[in-house]
């Protein structure tokens, strides 16, 4: 039997003529990739829906992360119900009493971000920490001179593989790498960005 996880914010219940995708969501347990703290009073449940990441943020009582995670996992593993209300604010049903609100984020979130200001190589994503497929990387030239950029993979043996090498980004321009250019095995490689000089850039990975 397929198990579904239900979330509602309560906004659709209070204003039934204006439902939208941020008011309620039903997600398959198979699409749940990770549960991780995102603040002292919040947990992110990250889902991969056909390659697109969606995040549901649970608002919880301070410091109750472990208890809430345990309740979610136990409910998923032990329930014989087709639908589990993780945080149904509209009906007041919660899988754990420490949950009090929910936010459904349907866009692709920013996963990693860095400001790089000199020629020192910067590790953007460490080995064994990439939890999902990357959809894009943008490198924005935020200076008054052209920026020269390298993006490469580095394995545990120190062998380097370039994705791009010494690409020049003009003043006021942004270079975007798409998902197929960023498809790599996160269990084997670190992802680095390195400047050819001291022209600063902003790096955002989604």
**12 pLDDT higher than 80:** no
- Residue 94 burial (10 A CB sphere; 0-12, 13-18, 19+): buried
Q: Which residue has the tokens 């420490």?
A: 98
pLDDT given at position 48: 84
What are the structural domain ranges in the chain?
4-105, 112-205
pLDDT digits (tens, 9 = 90+) for 69-127: 999 999 999 888 899 999 999 899 999 999 999 998 766 677 899 999 999 999 999 99
Nearest to 139, CA basis, from 148, 130, 127 = 148
Residue 14 has pLDDT above 60, yes or no: no
Write out pLDDT tens, residues 121-164.
999 999 988 867 788 999 999 999 999 999 999 999 999 999 99
Class of domain 112-205 as given by CATH: mainly beta
User: Is the predicted pLDDT of residue 188 greater than 60, yes or no?
Assistant: yes
């Amino acid at each position: 039997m397929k198990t579904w996880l239900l979330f509602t914010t309560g906004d659709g219940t209070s204003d039934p003529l204006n439902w939208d995708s941020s008011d309620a969501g039903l997600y398959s347990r198979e699409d749940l990739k990770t549960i991780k703290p995102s603040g002292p009073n919040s947990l992110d449940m990250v889902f991969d829906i056909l390659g697109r990441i969606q995040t549901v943020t649970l608002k919880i009582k301070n410091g109750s992360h472990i208890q809430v995670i345990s309740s979610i996992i136990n409910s998923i593993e032990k329930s014989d119900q087709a639908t589990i209300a993780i945080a149904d604010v509209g009906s007041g049903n919660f899988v754990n009493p420490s949950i009090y609100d929910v936010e459904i984020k349907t866009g692709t979130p920013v996963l990693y971000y860095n400001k790089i200001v000199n020629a020192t190589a910067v590790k953007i994503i460490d080995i064994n920490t990439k939890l999902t497929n990357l959809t894009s990387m943008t490198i924005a030239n935020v200076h008054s001179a052209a920026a020269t950029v390298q993006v490469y993979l580095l394995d545990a043996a120190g062998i380097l593989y370039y994705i791009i090498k010494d690409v020049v980004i003009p003043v006021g321009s942004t270079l975007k790498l798409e998902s197929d250019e960023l498809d790599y095995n996160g269990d084997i490689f670190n992802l680095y960005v390195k400047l050819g000089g001291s022209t600063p850039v902003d790096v955002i990975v989604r």
